[in-house]
Amino acid sequence: MIDAVVFDLDGVIVDSEQVWDEVRERYTRESGGTYGPGAARDMMGMSAPEWSRYMADALGVPGTPDEIVAAVVERMLARYGEQPPLIPGAVEAVREVAERFPAGIASSSNPELIDVVLRVSGLAEVVRVAVSSQEVARGKPAPDVYLEAARRLGVDPQRCAAVEDSENGIRSAKAAGMTVFAIPNPHFPPSDDALALADRTLTSIDGLGNCF
């Protein structure tokens, strides 16, 4: 029995995983750091304190983690503007689900980026809670952000469904005890091992409403 549905943001509602990658890569290279081929996957799902520390320690980006976060988020907000790259059908799918279940967001994005997407898409009026991994101790693949979303919704995590696209996101939601619907990210597809953890794999978000 499902009592609530929690959505990831990047890669599920907004097509932004590659935007994060482009922004962090450009900032790393412009700052004199080295952006290796595994950097994007390493940082996927990390909280802001985690990926900024990674950029400082592993990629050689100068400055404190707080300074790195501020610079990257400023660039992300400039890229988003008033038109974040919404995934076709995502807003309609979230609205359809929210008519039947309490809906939440559990995202690795910073709160200000989550707010932009929810405001511009109109989903702020139907999403009951939005949790950034910046607000919890550990980012994905740890379960913290999903557990916090379930807590704020007042629902047992084992009675929640999670909608995810990435490897670390799938692992995070599964570790929280949720029923996981995977919609594999075409830019950074999850491994077969991660997909095997999902309870159901969909090719797009369009058919999500028929799964409940």
Per-residue pLDDT tens digits for 63-116: 999 999 999 999 998 888 778 899 999 999 999 999 999 999 999 999 999 999
Which pLDDT does position 81 carry in this prediction? Answer: 74
- CATH no. for 4-15+84-211: 3.40.50.1000
89-126 exposure pattern, b = at least 16 Cβ within 10 A, e = fewer = ebbebbbbbbeebbbbbbbbbbeebbebbbebbebeeb
Q: For 19-39, write each residue's pLDDT tens digit.
A: 899 999 999 999 999 999 889
DSSP per-residue letters across 120-155: HHTGGGT--EEEEGGGSSS-TTSSHHHHHHHHHHT-
Using the Cα atoms of residue 82, residue 83, residue 89 and residue 94 in order, give the sign of their dihedral.
negative
pLDDT band at residue 55 using 50, 70 and 90 as cut-offs: very high
* pLDDT at residue number 210: 87
**Tokens (6 digits) for 99:** 């008519």
In this prediction the pTM is 0.88
- What pLDDT does 26 receive? 95
Domain definitions of the chain by residue range? 4-15+84-211, 17-80
Whether 186 has a pLDDT exceeding 80, the answer reads yes
pLDDT at 45 over 90: no
CATH 1.10.3470 fits 17-80, yes or no: no
pLDDT digits (tens, 9 = 90+) for 115-164: 999 999 999 999 999 999 999 999 999 999 999 999 999 999 999 999 99
> What are the DSSP E strand ranges found in the chain?
4-7, 103-107, 129-132, 160-164, 179-182, 200-201
- Closest Cα partner for 109 from 166, 156, 150? 166
Residue 18's pLDDT is what?
85
Predicted pLDDT at 79: 83
